[in-house]
Each structure stands twice: as structure tokens, then as C-alpha cells.
Amino acid sequence: MRYKILGKTNLKVSELAFGAIQITRIDQKEAINLIRFAYDSGINLIDTASSYFNSEEILGKALKGIREKVYVISKSGKRDKKNFLQDFNTSLKRLKTDYIDFYLFHGISKNNEFDQIEEAGVIEALVKERDKGKVRFIGFSCHNPAVIEKFFKVKDFSILMIPLNFITTEYVEESLLYKFNQNKTGLLAMKPFGGGRLMDIEICFKFLRQYPQVIPVAGMQSIDELKQNLIYIGKDDNLTKTDHKRIKELSEELGTKFCRGCGYCMPCKEKGIEITDINFIEVYYKQFPHDVFWNIGLDKKVEVARKCIECGKCSEKCPFDLDVSEIIKKNIAFFDGLKKV
């Protein structure tokens, strides 16, 4: 395993981070073995969140005896001080630790979400926890490039998690990359395989290799998957002409259907459709434990989504010009297909 310095944190982290949402889908003993296998393979950076079901609890058990040798990222999506700190302390308890290496504001994807945590003193509260030694570095995860400017506003932020793959490239446009480099931002790439939609792992890693300052966070749920990722992350090759051609083909194929989950199209004032959840049904199915997938209220949301009148108002708000009602239809069909099995 090779290691890199993660921006201004100066921590030496493995060039592949383990995304721990999917370990909640497998048997707990198997999940613990998988984490230990990842650690033995040299991975020293693990990503979880307070909302990732029992992921933190599993990690608490899996990291027994090696906690100090691993860097843990966790997050809370709460926007008020009381609930955020409650999540933070629960994360500490579940992870069986007295400090967390990185704690992030989860999913800051709209400017007003940032304003909310700033005005409610939540950022200040997390800085205080950091000063007490309970967290080492802070920042946020984000699904909308338009919010990144807010990141640079806070001098205490050192780590940013963004979706990055060969379809989602808005975050690495020249001017933003320049700012990240100036700011020495520690960059973590979520969805390196587009939430399972970009099937060519080799090309995905080659694409990310162009950005040496970025650490991909790959969700994994089996040793085989991990081994496969280790093979490709360990290579040095760059994108070839054939890869560029393949990227072009895949981008054209997926470009008009690939929802990034930024939520800009919301709310649906016409019918109250939960567009992002509907658009992510297939991704949720691939990531969540199946018992959870069937219990997050999708049935009801799908029933509401069936009422879409295809007015196109959401598409007008989508920065990626997606045909949102088409994506909704496709996900409803996927959901209905699952019900028939």
C-alpha cells in the first residue's frame, strides 16, 4: 500500500480509504474480518457516519487494539448544536474511542445549510470539541460544487469530501483545483465508482490518479471486492486513448441519467415528490442492508412519485440538465421490479 499526505492535516493516509456504509449489509463477524483484512492490507483510513446504520458500532469492535493506527472519519447531518453534539458523542461511544480523527458536517449541499450550521453556532461547537482533543480535523461533505466557496470561509476546516468520478467532474475544474491546492485542502472522493453505476473500476481509478491530492473512498462489502480494488489502486498507469474513448461513451450513455443527489431540484411543489430519494432507489438498493432498504419508507415515496405530472419544473432547477421525470420513472420501474421478485 502506498501512502499520501492528506492536505494540511499532514497525516499520512493510505491511497485508498475504506467506505464503511456497506459493511452494514453483511454479517457482523464477516464485517469485522473485512475491516481487519483491510487494515492488514495497509488501509489506515476508514469512513463512516452517524447515519450509516450500525456501521460505527461494527467499527468500534473491529478496531479493538488498532484504534490508534487507523484514522476514522465520521459525520453528522444534524444542523442544530444540541442534536449535532449528541450525534458526535454517540459516534465516540459507538466507535469506542475518546477521539475521532475527522468529523464532518454531513451533506452540506445548499448554501442555506451552511448558513444554518454557522448561524446556529454548530461549527463553533465542533471547533471547541476539537480544542478539547475529541476531534482532530473538521470539514464537511458536499454534493453541490456551488457550496464549496463556503468551505474556504472557515479557517478551521481542513477536510472536504466530494463526489468525484469521470462523470462527476464539476469539483475538479481548474479554478476550484487551484483553490484546493492553495488552501491545501484534504480531499476525499466519495462515489469513486458513481455509486456502482460506473462499472469499469480500472478506468475509475486511472481517472482519479490524475488528482494526486485526492483519496478515493470506496465502499466495500467483501474481501474479493477489496482485493480487486487493491490491485487497481496499486497500479501506476494513466488513461490511454482507448480509456478516453470508453469514458466518452460511458459519459454519453450515463450523462443524461446520472443524478448527483445535490437536491437542487427540490422541493417538488407540484406533487411533493422526494426526488433525490426516488432517484437514488437503485443506489440505495446496492448500498443499504436489505432489511433497512425495505424499511425507509420508499413504498410511500414511490406512491407519491407515481403522481409526477412531468411538468419539468425540477429539470429547470437541475444544474446538470437532467430529465428528472425520466429518472423518476426508471427508478420506480426498478422498485416495482424488486417487488415482483
Contact positions vs ligand SF4 (CB under 6 A)? 259-265, 268, 270-271, 273, 275-276, 279, 308-314, 318, 320, 322, 324-325
Minimum distance, C-beta of residue 163 to ligand SF4, in the bound complex (Å): 10
Question: Which backbone phi and psi does 18 adopt, to 5 degrees?
Answer: -95, 120
Alpha-carbon distance 309 to 298, whole Å? 19
Choose among 226, 203, 184: nearest CA to 18.
Answer: 226
Count of C-beta atoms within a 10 Å radius of residue 105: 25
Alpha-carbon distance 237 to 206, whole Å? 7
Alpha-carbon distance 229 to 248, whole Å? 23
Alpha-carbon distance 71 to 94, whole Å? 15
Q: Residue 10 in contact with residue 184, Cβ under 8 Å?
A: no
Minimum distance, C-beta of residue 321 to ligand SF4, in the bound complex (Å): 8
Q: Residue 34 in contact with residue 55, Cβ under 8 Å?
A: no
User: Which residue lies nearer to ligand SF4 by CB, 94 or 260?
Assistant: 260
Return the biggest CA–CA distance within the chain. 56
Minimum distance, C-beta of residue 269 to ligand SF4, in the bound complex (Å): 7
User: Which residue lies nearer to ligand SF4 by CB, 157 or 193?
Assistant: 193
Minimum distance, C-beta of residue 194 to ligand SF4, in the bound complex (Å): 12
Q: Residue 135 in contact with residue 102, Cβ under 8 Å?
A: yes
User: Which residue lies nearer to ligand SF4 by CB, 33 or 276?
Assistant: 276
What does the DSSP 8-state code read for residue 297? S
Minimum distance, C-beta of residue 102 to ligand SF4, in the bound complex (Å): 25
Minimum distance, C-beta of residue 335 to ligand SF4, in the bound complex (Å): 15
99 half-sphere exposure, CB direction, 13 A CA radius? 16
Question: Which backbone phi and psi does 180 adopt, to 5 degrees?
Answer: -60, -40
Minimum distance, C-beta of residue 333 to ligand SF4, in the bound complex (Å): 15
End-to-end CA separation in angstroms for the chain: 41
What 3-state DSSP class applies to 341? coil
Could you tell me the three cell numbers for 170?
464539476
User: Which residue lies nearer to ligand SF4 by CB, 8 or 306?
Assistant: 306
User: Which residue lies nearer to ligand SF4 by CB, 167 or 172?
Assistant: 167
Minimum distance, C-beta of residue 94 to ligand SF4, in the bound complex (Å): 30
User: Which residue lies nearer to ligand SF4 by CB, 21 or 318?
Assistant: 318
Task: Report the sign of the C-alpha dihedral through residues 33, 37, 38, 44, in that order.
Answer: positive
User: Which residue lies nearer to ligand SF4 by CB, 312 or 337?
Assistant: 312
Q: Residue 198 in contact with residue 165, Cβ under 8 Å?
A: yes
User: Which residue lies nearer to ligand SF4 by CB, 156 or 173?
Assistant: 173
User: Which residue lies nearer to ligand SF4 by CB, 115 or 326?
Assistant: 326
Minimum distance, C-beta of residue 297 to ligand SF4, in the bound complex (Å): 17
